[in-house]
Amino acid sequence: MVQKLDYLKETPSQTAGPYVHIGLAPGAAGFDIYRQELGWDIAGPNAKGERIRVEGIVIDGTGNPVKDVLIETWQANADGVYAHPESEGEVEEGFRGWGRVITDFETGEWGFDTVKPGPVKARKSLGTGPLHPPAHAGDDWLGRGDEGHEDMAPHINLWIVARGINIGLNTRLYFDDEAEANAKDPVLNLIEWHNRRPTLIAKRSERDGKVVYRFDIRLQGEGETVFFDV
Amino acid sequence: MSQAEFYQRDRERHPAALTPDYKTSVMRSPRAALISLQQSVSEITGPVFGHNDIDPIDNDLIHNYAKDGESAIGERIILHGRVLDENGRPVPNTLVEAWQANAGGRYRHKKDSYLAPIDPNFGGCGRTMTDENGFYFFRTVKPGAYPWRNWVNNWRPAHIHFSLFGTSFSQRLITQCYFEGDPLIAKCPIVKTIPTQDGIDSLIAALDMNATVPLDSIAYKFDIVLRGRRSTLFENRLEGN
């Protein structure tokens, strides 16, 4: 026998269930209770950068839209800074970078308004662990201080929960008009199957003078979206 | 000592995506393997909430949807506990959200058509921030069991859904809290998506007589553990610090 490690173990996940809206978007469940629901305004009024809309549906393994899904979004501002003390730089007042999005119960369509994020600092080198020290004094594990390495391409982090999903699914949304940056992105390049990378790239179009990116998520089967263990 | 990645999630402790006895998971589970990422700033950051985002009454489900002078019907409980990380450290000032059915097992949701009635004084959702030591509490009524279309005679145990943020998007977690002694727990296909008995036990709130309010409310204690985080100790050491 050996000594017992005294770490606690993470609480196991459970499905959010079909009535997730009651807790996280009660207005959609059919009642008003809170002074202010959270997650409706991602960028705020003062955010710099290009205003965009993102839209899509989530499709299950039978090809049908999932109509009771909840998606949370997490993104940097146009300068590539997250609204978090561990991200270097400042964000505009009112920029939260986090959103909560639900599907239409009839059609399964969802969408949100935000600004297009800027490129974000990458890790210095993917594939090395803590036993491989940074190459230069002053570098840290995030690559801060390391000049000349590639940033991550602009992306929005997504987290998807629903009835039938036992643990939230993490994915990333990239932009099809950032082909050059996408080609160098260290996370996209980690996906060994080149033909799966396009599942993470949203398609740009314009509608009534407004920039719209389409991003459909396929949970299972042909064209299955890449999901990450983060 | 600066903080670095969060510990790898133990996917053998969490439910698998595909758990066929929970039928909806069959067509909503990816078939390809997850791609493992070493964390970048995108994963170690996450939304920050403040006390201004919520109201003090938001954690009192007995009253937060009740008419003046009235209250929800059911077994009055205090559900309290602590949010910790895997290192055993408290997670302070983090948002905790909860939702549940009423005492009869009926949800206030336009898609719930169970014949048990709505309680006019009960909404069914609450939210709070942990304090500086990671403690939280809700005041509510104990939810009832309810039937659901999985097998023809499946009943969910009494449960309250919980949503947690921690300090990073990689700690994001939704789970369910069950109640000590409920015989339906052992029969539930959703509970049984969890692969270990120890994991199941960690979702069962214990009756906590020490925290009851005599002649008012029974108490249950439900602690929640989020992913822990490594420090950059090793990198520093290798650099000669």
Write down the ipTM of this complex: 0.95
Closest Cα in chain B to A142: B40
| A85 contacts on B by Cβ (under 8 Å) | 48
Contact (CB<8Å) B225/A224: no
Per-residue pLDDT 10s for chain A (230 aa) are 999 999 999 999 999 999 999 999 999 999 999 999 999 999 999 999 999 999 999 999 999 999 999 999 999 999 999 999 999 999 999 999 999 999 999 999 999 999 999 999 887 643 344 434 444 444 455 544 444 457 899 999 999 999 999 999 999 999 999 999 999 999 999 999 999 999 999 999 999 999 999 999 999 999 999 999 99
Residues from chain B that touch A170, judged by Cβ atoms under 8 A, are: 170
Taking only the tens place, the pLDDT of each residue in B118-134 is 999 999 999 999 999 99
Q: What is the pLDDT of residues B163-189, one digit of tens each?
A: 999 999 999 999 999 999 999 999 999
Out of B17, B36, B123, closest to residue A167 by CB: B17
Q: Between chains, do B109 and A35 touch, taking CB under 8 Å as contact?
A: no
How would you classify the pairing of strands B95-100 and B125-129? antiparallel
Q: What is the DSSP letter of B149?
A: S
Tell me how close the Cα of B172 comes to any Cα of chain A, in angstroms: 8
Cα torsion through B166, B169, B174, B177, rounded to 10: -10
In chain B, the residue whose alpha carbon lies closest to the alpha carbon of A219 is: B30
What pLDDT is recorded for position A124?
A: 64
Q: What is the pLDDT of residue A142?
A: 53
Q: How many residue contacts between A and B have a Cβ separation below 8 Å?
A: 280
pLDDT tens-digit readout, B188-240: 999 999 999 999 999 999 999 999 999 999 999 999 999 999 876 554 444 33
Which candidate from B42, B55, B110 shows the least CB-CB separation from A29? B110
User: pTM (2 decimals)?
Assistant: 0.94
B65 and A83 within 8 Å at the Cβ level: the answer is no
Chain centroid to Cα B98, Å, comes to 7
Please state, in angstroms and rounded to a whole number, the distance separating the CA atoms of residues A208 and A16.
Answer: 36
Question: Quick check: A155 and B84 CB within 8 A?
Answer: no
pLDDT in tens, B45-84: 999 999 899 999 999 999 999 999 999 999 999 999 999 9
B203-B207-B211 Cα angle (round to 5): 115
Residues A10, B30: C-beta atoms closer than 8 Å = no
Shortest alpha-carbon distance between residue A207 and chain B (Å): 30
Of the CA atoms within 13 Å of residue B142, those in its CB half-sphere come to: 17
Contact B125 A9 (CB under 8 A): no
Burial state string for B26-39 with b = 16 or more CB within 10 A and e = fewer than 16: bbbbbeeebbebbb
Shortest CB distance from A8 goes to which of B32, B225, B239? B225
Is the distance from CB of A146 to CB of A138 less than 8 angstroms? no
Task: Give the single-character DSSP code of B90.
Answer: B
Look at residue A132 in the predicted model and tell me its pLDDT: 42
Expressed in angstroms, the distance from the first to the final Cα of chain A is 33
Helix (H, G, I), strand (E, B) or coil at B52: helix
| pLDDT value for B2 | 59
Question: Which residues contact residue B136 at a Cβ distance below 8 angstroms, ignoring those fewer than 6 apart?
Answer: B59, B80, B81, B82, B83, B96, B128, B129, B130
Instruction: Name the closest residue on chain B to residue A225, using Cα atoms.
Output: B30
Cβ distance of A166 and B193 shorter than 8 Å: yes
* Cα dist from B5 to A170, B36, B45, whole Å: 17, 13, 10
Q: Please provide the DSSP assignment of A46-85 as one string.
A: T--S-EEEEEEEEE-TTSPBPSS-EEEEE---TTS--SST
CA distance B13 to chain A (A): 6
CB B29 within 8 A of CB A220: yes
Pairing of strands A217-218, A51-59: parallel
Query: Hey, are the CB atoms on A9 and B13 less than 8 Å from each other?
Result: yes
User: In 3-state terms, what secondary structure has residue B95?
Assistant: strand
- From the CA of A86, how many Å to the nearest CA of chain B? 7
Chain A residue whose CA is closest to B65: A33
Of A65, A139, A76, A61, the closest CA to residue A102 belongs to A65
pLDDT digits over B87-108, tens only? 999 999 999 999 999 999 999 9
Chain A nearest-CA distance from B209, in A, is 23
DSSP SS3 for A217: strand
B14–A167 CB contact, under 8 Å: yes
| Catalytic (active-site) positions of B | 107, 146, 156, 159, 161
Q: How far apart are CA A101 and CA A229, in angstroms?
A: 21
Query: Measured between beta carbons, which residues in chain B are less than 8 angstroms from residue A31?
Result: 65, 108, 123
Of the candidates A11, A13, A131, which has its C-beta nearest B15's C-beta?
Answer: A13
pLDDT at residue number B214:
97
pLDDT tens digits, one per residue of B146-167: 999 999 999 999 999 999 999 9
Amino acid code (one letter) for A41: D
Residue B82 backbone zone (phi > 0: left; psi -120 to 50: alpha; other: beta): beta
One DSSP character per residue, A108-157 reads -EEEEEEEPPPPBPPPS-TT--TTS--SSTT--TT-TT-TTPPPBPS-EE
Residue B13's Cβ-count burial label (10 Å; 0-12, 13-18, 19+) is middle
How do beta strands B3-6 and B229-231 pair? antiparallel
Q: Which residues of B touch A30 (CB under 8 A)?
A: 108-110
The contacts of residue B239 (CB under 8 Å, 6+ apart) are: A133, A134, A137
Walk me through the domains of chain A, giving residue ranges and CATH numbers. 36-123+147-218 (2.60.130.10)
Residue of B19, B42, B114 to mutate, interface with A, max A Cβ within 10 Å: B42
Judged by CB atoms closer than 8 Å, whether chains meet at A10 and B4 is answered as no
Of A12, A66, A133, the CB nearest to B14: A12
Q: Cβ A12–B199 below 8 Å, yes or no?
A: yes
CA distance B227 to B3: 13
Main-chain phi, psi angles of B41, to 5 degrees: -60, -25
Residues of chain B positioned with their CB less than 8 A from the CB of A138: none
